[in-house]
Chain A
């Protein structure tokens, strides 16, 4: 190996968010947009994103999808021994740089011979990356909705993953939390809804409405643009509340708490840590 890279804790947190919470969104892209999804009709294969890492048994972490005739099943943070197509990064840092759009370190591509499949997969991946790495509001309503969905699925999942890994700032909150559900929702739309539940250090997350009744606190956005305004850091939270774009159901002081957790996920998922911690 030409260069010695020291993998930090932040790399581990970020890689887990990417593989555990971000990469699975590929399925959402393919299910939501026929333009990408239809290309996998009639195809049966296993696709895996992975990075080598000494810190785990087997020396590798991965997330794989089982695709059966265009139907996607995601196995988050599970290694498949013999995927048909695999993008494998040499280490976690490279995965993180690639996923956060801070650079283009190339993965080792397994299954390069299946060129058509590879191009289709890359198309879907680039579509996802393009959406997630955007810093301005998408133009079309469909894109706004899709990106909102991606964020809604990423953030609670990311919070939960960080907690499970023991990220200190997140664990500080979840470890002392009573059994509570925090939710994100757009105007009662079941598709645009997700939640994270925490109780004394245990966490779980999911999509749609929480089964545990009305959440302890929910951030209810008027429409996808209002949600993205906050999530993409375009709008001011107080202004959004004033103008009715955002309704916080629950005690306002706990809104700040969940906001801080979401920022923590963004810190890793948007690659901010790479810059701040001088890892590029």
Chain B
């Protein structure tokens, strides 16, 4: 089933609006779909669905716990319930209902968590959702998706509607930079999308940071000749271990980028995979440190937290200077030694490349 949102439209629509349209379209094809909102029908853009199917839409008032409980009840009785509210409340305020009513019962409740990360930056920390990925990731039966842009959100919502079980889709407030111009790029739950090829390092990002990571890779390439691989890890759970293993084997250096605290989210999920794999990789987690974020425009907050293109690019240079010990165990491992020698040569070459190509030339061309 194709939900018709053209690339041109997708650049003009806020991500939540794309969700709104998608769910309204899906509602026509699947009469089991119902929508719920806690007085956020307009903010979460469920209005299109409400207009088409008023009898399948419930505004529960400002009562998120009740919304999730009712959604689970609807699902237990055979409906597919999409419930939407701000991510910070979805993941924390009604977590008990998400845990017990939705995940424990393993029902078809699809949580659309808006205003993810610091995307509602000016509202302050009461409205920043910087713990949601970490919290939600731990829930049994839950599929956790953090789409990169509007078209990916449409894909995620379609996948959620077509796949049994609980979903948590974390989207941002307002517009997202366009990552995809065409919805048919092969979105698959649990499979990372390679946005740029490269073997010097891998940048793994989700949500709004995917766009930033792609830009960072092109900066690294243009200014320092560094080839960064960029993975859009839209599904945080189940995470694409295969893509991470490949990144460890082929690039030895991994940076994760997320609009989320560095504790528990994408970075932690990737770290777990690296640790389980047992092979070393230089590793950096970019995100919001264990501190409350300042208020501000989301773009400014991304820059402040160094998860914008410039910040990621700077970390890209930094991680190339890290030595990676790829050997394992106590015995002498010829393969590992060769590998280490290669690493040293490689980093020397990279440093040389960088000295030859000065990055920042703060001058005006005339």
Q: Could you tell me which A residues sit within 8 Å of B by CB distance?
A: 20-21, 24, 27, 74, 76, 157, 160-161, 178-180, 199, 202-207, 211-214, 216, 250-251, 253-254
From A75, which residue of chain B is reached at the shortest CB distance?
Answer: B366
From A164, which residue of chain B is reached at the shortest CB distance?
Answer: B364
- Are A213 and B364 within 8 A (Cβ)? no
On chain A, the residues within 8 Å of B300 by CB distance are: 178
Min distance, Cβ A212 to any Cβ of chain B, angstroms: 5
Known: A178-B304, A178-B308, A251-B175. A20 touches B366 (CB 8 A): yes
Going nearest first, the 9 A-B pairs with the smallest beta carbon separation are A178-B303, A179-B310, A213-B218, A24-B366, A206-B365, A213-B215, A211-B222, A76-B366, A205-B364
* Contacts A157-B365, A207-B365, A212-B218 known; 7 new A-B pairs at CB < 8 A: A24-B366, A199-B310, A202-B362, A205-B365, A211-B219, A251-B298, A253-B297
Q: Could you tell me which B residues sit within 8 Å of A by CB distance?
A: 175, 177, 214-219, 222-223, 297-300, 303-304, 308-311, 360-366
Min distance, Cβ B259 to any Cβ of chain A, angstroms: 14
Identify which of B177, B297, B304, B364 contacts A157 (C-beta below 8 A). Answer: B364
How many angstroms between the C-alpha atoms of A20 and B364 in the bound complex? 9
- Are B362 and A204 within 8 A (Cβ)? yes
How many angstroms between the C-alpha atoms of A206 and B215 in the bound complex? 19
Min distance, Cβ B34 to any Cβ of chain A, angstroms: 34
From A217, which residue of chain B is reached at the shortest CB distance?
Answer: B299
On chain A, the residues within 8 Å of B303 by CB distance are: 178-180
On chain B, the residues within 8 Å of A157 by CB distance are: 364-366
26 interchain pairs, CB-CB under 8 A: A20-B366, A21-B366, A27-B366, A76-B366, A157-B365, A160-B364, A161-B364, A178-B303, A178-B304, A179-B308, A179-B310, A179-B311, A180-B308, A180-B310, A203-B364, A204-B364, A205-B365, A206-B364, A212-B222, A212-B309, A213-B214, A251-B175, A251-B297, A251-B299, A253-B297, A254-B297
How many angstroms between the C-alpha atoms of A214 and B310 in the bound complex? 12
Min distance, Cβ A220 to any Cβ of chain B, angstroms: 11
From A197, which residue of chain B is reached at the shortest CB distance?
Answer: B362
Min distance, Cβ B30 to any Cβ of chain A, angstroms: 35
- Are B177 and A250 within 8 A (Cβ)? yes
- Are B364 and A211 within 8 A (Cβ)? no
From B303, which residue of chain A is reached at the shortest CB distance?
Answer: A178
Known: A178-B303, A178-B304. A214 touches B362 (CB 8 A): no
Min distance, Cβ A231 to any Cβ of chain B, angstroms: 19
On chain A, the residues within 8 Å of B297 by CB distance are: 251, 253-254
On chain A, the residues within 8 Å of B222 by CB distance are: 211-213
- Are A178 and B310 within 8 A (Cβ)? yes
- Are B362 and A203 within 8 A (Cβ)? yes
From A210, which residue of chain B is reached at the shortest CB distance?
Answer: B222
Min distance, Cβ A76 to any Cβ of chain B, angstroms: 4
From B217, which residue of chain A is reached at the shortest CB distance?
Answer: A213
Identify which of A20, A24, A204, A216 contacts B361 (C-beta below 8 A). Answer: A204
Give the one of B303, B365, B366 with max A CB within 10 A: B366
From B306, which residue of chain A is reached at the shortest CB distance?
Answer: A178
On chain A, the residues within 8 Å of B299 by CB distance are: 216, 250-251, 254
From B310, which residue of chain A is reached at the shortest CB distance?
Answer: A179
From A206, which residue of chain B is reached at the shortest CB distance?
Answer: B365
How many angstroms between the C-alpha atoms of A74 and B361 in the bound complex? 18
How many angstroms between the C-alpha atoms of A204 and B359 in the bound complex? 12
Min distance, Cβ A243 to any Cβ of chain B, angstroms: 14
From A28, which residue of chain B is reached at the shortest CB distance?
Answer: B366
On chain B, the residues within 8 Å of A202 by CB distance are: 360, 362
- Are A212 and B219 within 8 A (Cβ)? yes
How many angstroms between the C-alpha atoms of A75 and B328 in the bound complex? 58
Min distance, Cβ B94 to any Cβ of chain A, angstroms: 30
On chain B, the residues within 8 Å of A207 by CB distance are: 365
From B222, which residue of chain A is reached at the shortest CB distance?
Answer: A211
From A23, which residue of chain B is reached at the shortest CB distance?
Answer: B366
From A153, which residue of chain B is reached at the shortest CB distance?
Answer: B366
How many angstroms between the C-alpha atoms of A194 and B365 in the bound complex? 10
How many angstroms between the C-alpha atoms of A251 and B176 in the bound complex? 9
Give the one of A27, A212, A216 with max B CB within 10 A: A212
- Are A214 and B215 within 8 A (Cβ)? yes
On chain B, the residues within 8 Å of A21 by CB distance are: 364, 366
From A76, which residue of chain B is reached at the shortest CB distance?
Answer: B366
Min distance, Cβ B133 to any Cβ of chain A, angstroms: 23
From B214, which residue of chain A is reached at the shortest CB distance?
Answer: A213
Min distance, Cβ A164 to any Cβ of chain B, angstroms: 8
How many angstroms between the C-alpha atoms of A253 and B299 in the bound complex? 10
Min distance, Cβ B35 to any Cβ of chain A, angstroms: 29
Give the one of B217, B298, B309 with max A CB within 10 A: B309
